[in-house]
Amino acid sequence: MFNFNDLKILLDINYKNMFQDTAPKDTMSFIDESDYKDIISGTILAIIGNIILIIIGLVLSSSNVNIVASQISFLNFLPLFMNVIILVMYYYNNKSVVKTNGSFNYVTILFSFFYTIACAGLIIPWVESMADSTILGLLGVINVLVIVLGNLFILAGSIGYGYKIYNYDIEAHKDKLVHPDITVTHINPNDVKDHSFKYCPTCGQQNNHDSTTCSRCGNML
């Protein structure tokens, strides 16, 4: 379920253009099974990590330990709620075989990307809490790392899906990208004139297409 080779996509991405490339498009696509599994497994991992951090925070608060870690642990309700939404949305879309244009997927990318960065600062108070409670502080640090790992899988899967939609969009608009000045319009059949002619089989005279007799020799056409 946890294919660490899928995380290699995070090393090959051009992050300068990533948010622009994975933004919602006017084309739609199904999610690949590998990307779906990465998102689901990463979400479950992040949910577990957030729940444990909340529990540890409750234990620290009940023991009257006045540390920052016990206070900020309750902020994990917000990412926990978001992780549940991600889990439900992707499960529903995959099971219902629904195409999307990447709108919610883009929200998932933003969430997992910036929350992963935030976890770098979140780990500091948990390291400091080890001075008051070594075991709980260590468990806090471990679960922050678990959340980071889960976010990386979510990020890898959602970026993979985002680029699939991006590539489909390029393919759908290939002619416009190659020839941006060319515009395509529909022609009304009534606007097309018939410029064909009839030639007399007897004398070879050119006649209008709606003529019934030759204008030169009078032969029936």
Query: Could you read off the pLDDT of 153-166 as tens digits, one per residue?
Result: 999 999 999 999 99
pLDDT computed for residue 151 by the predictor: 96
pLDDT tens digits for range 6-44: 899 999 888 889 999 999 988 899 999 999 999 999 999
108 or 183: which leads in pLDDT: 108
User: Where are the alpha helices (H) located in the chain, listed in sequence order?
Assistant: 9-12, 15-21, 33-62, 68-72, 77-95, 103-129, 134-172, 174-178
Q: Is the pLDDT of residue 174 over 80?
A: no
Lowest mean pLDDT among 21-35, 80-94, 178-192: 178-192
Q: Is the pLDDT of residue 141 over 60?
A: yes
pLDDT computed for residue 162 by the predictor: 94
d(CA 212, CA 157): 70
**Angle (CA) 110 91 102, round 5°:** 40
> What is this structure's pTM?
0.73
